[in-house]
Structure 1
Amino acid sequence: MKKDADNYLANPQVHKDRRLGLGTSAWVQSFECSHLRPLIICRGPIRKEAMDVFDEMGIHHYGILLSEKDSIVYQNALAPELRKLTDPHRVHRVPDYSGADKAEREVRIRQIINIARANNYNAIFTGYGFMAEDENMVKAMEDAGLNFIGPCSRTVHQAGLKDEAKRTALRVGVSVTPGVDNASALTLIKKYPSLSALKNLAAEEKLPVDVEQLAADGLALVDIADAVLAASYAKGIDLYSIAELGETIREQVMAMSREYPSNRIRLKAIGGGGGKGQRILASPDAYQGDLPSRIEQAAAKAPSLVLEILNEVKTTGKGDNKNVLVELNIETTRHQEIQVIGNGDWALAMGGRDCSLQMHEQKLLEVSVITEDLEAALAAAQAAGNEHEAKVLAQDIVTLQKMEEESERFGQAVGLDSVSTFECIVDRDKHFFMEMNTRIQVEHRVTELCYGLRFSNPDNAKDFFQVDSLVEAMVLLAAHGPRLPKPTRQLRSQAAVEARLNATNQALQPHAGGIIEKWSDPVAGEIRDDQGISMHNPDTDVFIKYHLAGAYDSNIALLLTTGAGRADSYQRLAEILRVTELRGKDLATNLEFHYGLVNWFIGNNINARPTTRFIVPYLTAVGLLKQAANNVDLHYAYQSICRQRIKQVASDDASWAQVLERKHLLLARPVEKLLAEPHLLAGWLSLNQKNFDLTNDRVIWRVNPIKVLAETYHYLNMDYCAQKPAANMIWASDDKILQQALNFYQSLENKLGAMAYSELNALLESSAPVQFEPSQWQAIQAAHRGYQAGAELLNLPAFLGQSTGYFNLAVNADLSIHIPESLTEPKLQQAMAKILVPPPAAKSDEILAPTGGMFYAREAPGMEPFVMKGTHFSAGQPLYIVEVMKMFNKVNAPFAGTIDEVLVTDDGAIIKKGQPLFKITPDEIRVEESSADARARLKQGTDAFLATLGGAH
């Protein structure tokens, strides 16, 4: 149950922290769990983690459920867990995990029960898949006599369904977001607006609901409607249509917009999660006209979004609970969540996590938020005299403690008997409860790396055991819940952070189909949860290729580390990302994005408080960097710098030309890589902004450019290493020059004493100091000019940052982030996404698939296609839907035109990136840039940079 934390971090291949067996006392031994025989019915990193935990707990009779999609359909896509679990009798196959609709889910539930009974399993572990929060599934497992490792069905009903959770929160005094949680009941009342109408409806449909008794008990009409709806779900019938529900929600959106005309409105399925089943309506301010007209325009999109939501969470079938929540979208929100654990009697909060760094409701970077770290940061801010920062940190401590207290109160109210997550949105000094996820979450390790749980014998405080794994805690609660005393949390690490490594392109759009051919091993301090993808062939010790087929979500792995504080944890994560090498065929991941993002925070302020709206403007700023980089010719710039330098020295042109030629690739190669990889450039600029001043568009270095050059090679993981391929590192001849330069300046500093680079530079332009002979000083001056020759090329990245306004995306004194208004403009955001990931090259008469996935021509089964042969479409009009890694993405036309031929006709067809989908006639013929125009564009952009150097070119 507990290993030494240092050993745990020092051995990244075994990223586990449980001790085999328990202590020797009878009380501790009574919590032994080897009698459990679990069937794991989830996938992803949590499946491999559960296997490891079970093994270490002495639970060896476990099996896994395997979907055809991650077992046999795609070449090289065999579930990597099978590299460890080689016993075929413990591997059980089903078509998929959860089924496409209610009927299929019921079939799958029966299959799972039959598999468990036939193979002597007595427990079920669902991880963080959607089955984990399916009340019907949990209840079926309980009724079948299987021990469900997770919250019970009562808790799932009261807390897992978002409408029920909101009502419970209101009842126990938990702050909630303004909104409507009973749109389905309001829809029913519109059709049956009286008590007698509801009574007649229940009688006609033979629903077991005593409407008169409910009224006598004092229930309001809307609550009685809820009871009637609950009975209809149980019977599997519909009492209203999706269109009727959409109209109710449209009306509710209009009513809320009248009260909050500047806010957007969020629509959310009651059974969604992980970003699925949510859409945000634009605010009325985004439309033209008077306020009533703008409100009507904003609300008009609600019905179609309701249909999208229900399709995405697969609740369009008969008898499905189709309720959709209507909530005020808090625009400046930070997304924070509290890990909470309970046994049905007690509930304990285990600190928080900040999950604000997300896009499309998908979390990207998650960081611990615990009292101990906040208090240390507060003390440091106070000591440094940062009053604004100290005020924010002090408020964060108060907010965290309030959220923890509310999470425990809510957990007890719903009878929480396992591990769950209490999710909140935080707006400055206010917070609102969003939902409780009645399952373990992807980012649970962020919490368990900070806190362990000590369970003490009530009769003997010295008799205890510690649990450092939340999966293990879930097993203990499933096996011995009522007997487990309330634990105390034990600090393990001051801070932890997790980066979700996803199969996405540079613009963070899902990118399915790539094959991982090489992945460097984890390094010291790295905790990598990757399902076993990194496991080598046990016989040959060779990495095994893995196909990211895209049948499920885009997550590849979770990369975690800890630190003595948030800054330390970010520094460690940056180092992990720096040295990670991940290569393959048609492979796109967000590895470079994470490296750039983490370094943005390190370079600006590690305590910055980003909101959930930060990532898209940040990506837009990165896109602007890439656009600017595309408009410069690096080698033309260096040649111009060389000509100017030779002109300045006037004598011995040949020797200077030779020096500059030798240094060409030493200086150009790292800058070329920065310009080619915009996320690397963004991180470099963030780290180096303290190393230069920008005065009248000129770059004045505070740090010796030669040191910056060496650090840049290190930042890019291009340090010299004899075992590395030459293409991936500094060349040996260049490294020799660089080391000579570094040694020269180190020797000079040793003799002159440490001084700022500006002072050293000025001194080297003057006469010899007393400790040097004039001839010796002249040689030193010549060496300095030689080593600095051509280093002006390092000004180029800084120039791009300045010219694009990259540094305007900055942290304010109160830790909020200043986002320039231009970065929030949708048109610019869309344009920069295309700069980061240019669309596939196409003929002027074709529209190509921007990514692989599953093609749908229509909004929902039975509806007309978005476009057909002969349809004239406008720019921005929906053309089709592509499902990529569980997310439904509506693809809009990039320009106006007419459909001449539909090339993909079957809904559910698999399409590939770059595949022609439609033959079209555009309204306007796109003009391709000529090579002459491209050269002129590059020269113009490069000349703008050269002008800042003050020389002719």
Structure 2
Amino acid sequence: MSNEHYLNNPLIHKNRQQHAHTSEWIRQFDCRDLRPLIICRGPIRKEAMDVFVEMGINDFGILLSEKDSIVYQDALAPELRAIKDPNHIHRVPDYTGTNKEEREQRIAQIISIAHTNGYNSIFAGYGFMAEDEAMVAAMEKAGLNFIGPCSKTVHDAGLKDEAKRTALRVGVSVTPGIDNGTALTLLKKYPTIQALKDLVAKQALPLDESLLDQTDISLEDKADLVLQASYDKGIDLYTVDELSETLTEAVMRMYAEYPSNRVRLKAISGGGGKGQRILAAPSAYEGDEASRIEQAAKKTPELIREILNEVKATGVGDNKNVLVELNIETTRHQEIQVIGNGEWSMTLGGRDCSLQMHEQKLLEVSVTVESLQAAIEEAKQQGRATEQRVLEQDLKTLVAMEDEAARFGEAVGLDSVSTFECIVDRDKHFFMEMNTRIQVEHRVTELCYALKFANPENPNDYFIVESLVEAMVLLAAHGSKLPKPERILRHNDSVEARLNATNNALQPSAGGVIEYWSDAIEGEIRDDQGISLHNPDTDVFIKYTLAGAYDSNIALLLTVGETRLDTYERMAETLRRTTIRGKDLATNLSFHNGLVNWFIGNNINARPTTRFIVPYLTLVGEVKALADNIDLDAAWHLLADHVTAGAEGAAKTALSECLALKQTLLTRPLAALLSDPHALSGWLSIHSDCVGPVGDTLVWNENPVELLAETYEFLNMGYRPGQAAASMIWSHDNELLQEAKQFYEDLDDRLACEDWIELCSVLDEDCAPEASGLSEELWAAVRSTHYGYQAGMDLLLILPKLGLLADFCALAVNEDLTIHIPERLLDADHQAKMAKVLAPPPAAKADEILAASGGMFYGRESPEHALYVEPGSHFEAGDPLYIVEVMKMFNKVYAPFAGTVDEVLVDKDGVIIRKGQPLFKITPDEKIEIETPEQKQARQRAKTAELMQSLL
């Protein structure tokens, strides 16, 4: 990269003032001779293109998959618009293929495309192929410069079994378990060195037999050498059944040592949530200890097959190794960003990725030394000694993980950007794996730290890099010449929310069309691969279909700040003001809004574990179940009758007219909150102290007029002239609300009360306070106006009452920053029930089962297995019926009740199904009662009357 491009690069704009002339030392890092082929998708593809242009690299191409998760309906993709030469756009069926043979074909195809079109380097981003050792090695062999870790690093660090052995060798703490199940399986069949030699000879394996005679290599490692030779030749030396037997035995041994823990099964080639399953602890079963262990381990073979299917490692000659690890039950998932040039290795702080579900990250938060030091000082000043101790331990843990990550990076010869992943359990931490690729959440790190590369002979001659993609390019082009940089603080904190195509229960929801997306606001950093751009020719928003072939991610939303609270509040503001809508579109935007506000309302320094999200969702489901019982129209009329009771004649008429003026002012925001459980969760979190109990009733701790105004803003329904009335407070309601707010502002100035409770006490008096200077007549008018503005406001009490009924505040942050999770929220059956409340299944007839989501249908465990059900099959509640592959994950769907299959309506595996599509005609064992609309309305009115009676 030339000095000129550095100086004009917005990523490193600080250099503009620091270098007014061309530096010969900087000029040597020119990268314009790179001609990269981008073989990934999503936001990272657009980011790479932007960075390349900023670096002066203009001769690049992209690989475009026919299954890309974002389909552009009415216009070219933004990435395609940026490429002026259509010959630089290359189409392939998909990025990786469905099995080993197709992967090899795709690798050969990519190499051919690169050679034919004059590309000399490959950028794979964080896609499927970014850490595929075979692909990286093939690229290197073909003379292509891979912009990422080399194949040796990918092998030593990227394969989870190899990485674990390396970690042990260099003194890195690892999770208890086994990493050599395939070697142990082979040694059951060939238990001696001679037996292994005979096997090598018989199969003509490409292995130097003298290695098997070396005394410094263990028998298990020698078995691994034989296995590697078999993979190279493309043959199997063990069956999946044999491997499953070995791993089942390992699981049982682990259960015997840790009977209260679950066990994690993890494919060595998995990642991003793929290829992992968790076995329940023996304590979840009945019987004596031996019986419980046997029951818990019984599902191992089934889960092994699911894992191998998911990572597409079922082919002949595929490495089918699966790790067996102790599942640390209080896990916090943290990762350290590592960068190296093959000689030096350094870290760039950490990220807390504990807020995840089904191994899929949702909200990722930076963890930096500077942020923790600031939080420690704040806790110290405010006298929160326990919190201070926890934060001090977190700081020690972060420093230790960064030290281990740097050592591990040097041990594997890291020559690019990678991520060192750990699990943290209070004061202990364990290395999990290294992802030898840039990760989705890399922006969280680069927004906190930049890299300062200085001339070793002249410290004043330097350049600064703020982009990790840019750093990867520099390392690929000039790695050996790059001196070890200094990390420079940009911001103490950053946070990233992954905007995904999921429903309210966070289940994948493909197939929707984005028809509108509001513009990014000030302070929002949005990585959306250009989806929210308007058509440059018409200024009309371009429609996008979420095909869901690869994963559910739509965009990444980020904010930064000098404290974590500042960062979270900016994220809350971003989420509050973001609007995205479309046809059949479901996203987790509202979920993020609720979650971020939960932490703001509780403690942003809280230490959630990876088990937090499901109980949190369950609580939100409980709130929604209560909200679903509310008939808001009936509630309003009950309140109106209560307010006007006792009034007569003109007074009653006037009071009724006053209430009529307020009906839409009050009911519209309540309707919005009651219909959006995640927004309601956020509201309850930040308004948990808005009421207090007095006997059996609730009284306001703050002025409900102010609370109503805040609620409109919280819902992004504040008055904005020129906007559609449906999306904001109506003008006449806004006038009334603003008049009420001004009245209380003037009253506060005149009476100078400390709080709302004192103000109400003063207004209850017949005489005005002497200091107010108000006449008796004016005081009477003030009191009358006050009662008029407050009339009907108690309808808002429905919201905190629902929180109390759901015991919403029981999910709380403890003094030591752990989170107290009520037992009911951990019950698996209750969790599943509340998931259905959040995302009700499609309405079905009593004689059919509908698809719970769109995706690809499979009627069996794997191609060699029998169908789960066929015509005439009887199934019990909880039996598997089918598998749907949607957005990268295999989801097994279980029967909600017992019955008999009369007809299977999907004729073969691999068929795309849509949500709500009939899949099976069935005869249930018991008659299914379906609530009629009339019954639903009667239920809601009865529940509403019961609720309002408790409030009035």
TM-score grouping bracket, smaller chain normalisation: over 0.9
User: Structure 1: how far apart are the matches of 2:285 and 2:73?
Assistant: 49
What is the correspondence of 1:317-716 to structure 2 with a 5 Å cutoff?
317-649=315-647, 652-696=651-695, 698-716=697-715
Aligned partner of 1:254 in structure 2 is 252
Alignment deviations for residues 601-647 of structure 1 (CA, whole Å, 9 cap, x no partner): 00110101100000000000000010000112112111111111112
What is the correspondence of 1:932-951 to structure 2 with a 5 Å cutoff?
932-950=934-952
What is the correspondence of 1:110-189 to structure 2 with a 5 Å cutoff?
110-189=108-187
Q: Which amino acid aligns with 1:814?
A: D
User: Structure 2: how far apart are the matches of 1:458 and 1:885?
Assistant: 48
1:191 to 2:193 alignment: no
On the 8 A contact 2:265/2:325 being kept in 1, the answer is yes
SS in 1 for 2:669: helix
SS in 2 for 1:66: strand
Aligned partner of 1:11 in structure 2 is none
Q: Which amino acid aligns with 1:580?
A: T
Aligned partner of 2:719 in structure 1 is 720
Alignment deviations for residues 872-891 of structure 1 (CA, whole Å, 9 cap, x no partner): 00111100110101111111
Deviation (angstroms), 1:40: 0.2
Deviation (angstroms), 1:690: 2.7
User: Structure 1: how far apart are the matches of 2:84 and 2:146?
Assistant: 25
User: Structure 2: how far apart are the matches of 1:664 and 1:714?
Assistant: 18
User: Structure 2: how far apart are the matches of 1:168 and 1:76?
Assistant: 51
Deviation (angstroms), 1:691: 2.3
Aligned partner of 1:796 in structure 2 is 798
What is the correspondence of 1:1-150 to structure 2 with a 5 Å cutoff?
24-70=22-68, 75=73, 79-150=77-148
Deviation (angstroms), 1:649: 4.7
User: Structure 2: how far apart are the matches of 1:263 and 1:211?
Assistant: 42
On the 8 A contact 2:514/2:545 being kept in 1, the answer is yes
On the 8 A contact 1:160/1:436 being kept in 2, the answer is yes
Aligned partner of 2:911 in structure 1 is 909
User: Structure 2: how far apart are the matches of 1:205 and 1:193?
Assistant: 17
The structure-2 alpha-carbon separation of the partners of 1:787 and 1:804, relative to structure 1 and needing over 3 Å to count, comes to: same
Deviates more, 1:435-444 or 1:536-545: 536-545
User: Structure 2: how far apart are the matches of 1:615 and 1:697?
Assistant: 33
On the 8 A contact 2:2/2:26 being kept in 1, the answer is no
On the 8 A contact 1:849/1:917 being kept in 2, the answer is yes
On the 8 A contact 1:211/1:224 being kept in 2, the answer is no
Aligned residues: 942
Deviation (angstroms), 1:698: 3.0
The structure-2 alpha-carbon separation of the partners of 1:18 and 1:589, relative to structure 1 and needing over 3 Å to count, comes to: farther
SS in 2 for 1:851: coil
Alignment deviations for residues 286-330 of structure 1 (CA, whole Å, 9 cap, x no partner): 111111001001101000100000000001001110000000000
The structure-2 alpha-carbon separation of the partners of 1:768 and 1:445, relative to structure 1 and needing over 3 Å to count, comes to: same
User: Structure 2: how far apart are the matches of 1:482 and 1:74?
Assistant: 41
User: Structure 1: how far apart are the matches of 2:146 and 2:646?
Assistant: 79
Deviation (angstroms), 1:87: 2.3
The structure-2 alpha-carbon separation of the partners of 1:78 and 1:224, relative to structure 1 and needing over 3 Å to count, comes to: farther
User: Structure 1: how far apart are the matches of 2:64 and 2:542?
Assistant: 19
Q: Which amino acid aligns with 2:903?
A: E
Alignment deviations for residues 45-104 of structure 1 (CA, whole Å, 9 cap, x no partner): 000000000000000000000111239988559644213224211100111101111111
**Gaps spanning 5+ residues in structure 1: where?**
9-13
On the 8 A contact 1:811/1:818 being kept in 2, the answer is yes
SS in 2 for 1:70: coil
Deviation (angstroms), 1:556: 0.2
1:730 to 2:729 alignment: yes
On the 8 A contact 2:231/2:319 being kept in 1, the answer is yes
**Gaps spanning 5+ residues in structure 2: where?**
none
Deviation (angstroms), 1:941: 1.8
| Pairwise CA RMSD | 1.8
User: Structure 1: how far apart are the matches of 2:496 and 2:405?
Assistant: 23
Aligned partner of 2:928 in structure 1 is 926
SS in 2 for 1:784: helix
User: Structure 2: how far apart are the matches of 1:2 and 1:552?
Assistant: 37
On the 8 A contact 1:39/1:116 being kept in 2, the answer is yes
The structure-2 alpha-carbon separation of the partners of 1:911 and 1:379, relative to structure 1 and needing over 3 Å to count, comes to: same
User: Structure 1: how far apart are the matches of 2:434 and 2:465?
Assistant: 23
User: Structure 1: how far apart are the matches of 2:11 and 2:893?
Assistant: 42
Aligned partner of 1:824 in structure 2 is 826
Alignment deviations for residues 401-459 of structure 1 (CA, whole Å, 9 cap, x no partner): 00000000000000000000000000000000000000000000000000000001000
User: Structure 1: how far apart are the matches of 2:841 and 2:332?
Assistant: 32
User: Structure 2: how far apart are the matches of 1:223 and 1:546?
Assistant: 51
The structure-2 alpha-carbon separation of the partners of 1:925 and 1:696, relative to structure 1 and needing over 3 Å to count, comes to: farther
SS in 1 for 2:930: coil
SS in 1 for 2:931: coil
Structure 1 residue corresponding to 2:266, chosen from 265, 268, 272: 268
Q: Which amino acid aligns with 1:753?
A: A
Aligned partner of 2:839 in structure 1 is 837
Alignment deviations for residues 654-702 of structure 1 (CA, whole Å, 9 cap, x no partner): 0000000110110111011100000000000001013222455532221
Deviates more, 1:71-80 or 1:585-594: 71-80
User: Structure 1: how far apart are the matches of 2:761 and 2:72?
Assistant: 65
SS in 2 for 1:689: coil
Deviates more, 1:936-945 or 1:198-207: 936-945
1:747 to 2:749 alignment: no
On the 8 A contact 2:491/2:562 being kept in 1, the answer is yes
On the 8 A contact 1:335/1:356 being kept in 2, the answer is yes
Q: Which amino acid aligns with 1:758?
A: I
Aligned partner of 1:201 in structure 2 is 199
On the 8 A contact 2:331/2:609 being kept in 1, the answer is yes
SS in 2 for 1:69: coil
On the 8 A contact 2:422/2:432 being kept in 1, the answer is yes
Deviates more, 1:627-636 or 1:697-706: 697-706
User: Structure 2: how far apart are the matches of 1:83 and 1:850?
Assistant: 37
On the 8 A contact 2:70/2:548 being kept in 1, the answer is no
Deviation (angstroms), 1:534: 1.4
Aligned partner of 2:768 in structure 1 is 768
On the 8 A contact 1:16/1:52 being kept in 2, the answer is no
Deviation (angstroms), 1:935: 3.3
User: Structure 2: how far apart are the matches of 1:223 and 1:583?
Assistant: 55
Q: Which amino acid aligns with 1:723?
A: G
User: Structure 1: how far apart are the matches of 2:739 and 2:914?
Assistant: 51
On the 8 A contact 2:854/2:913 being kept in 1, the answer is yes
On the 8 A contact 2:2/2:28 being kept in 1, the answer is no
Deviation (angstroms), 1:901: 0.5
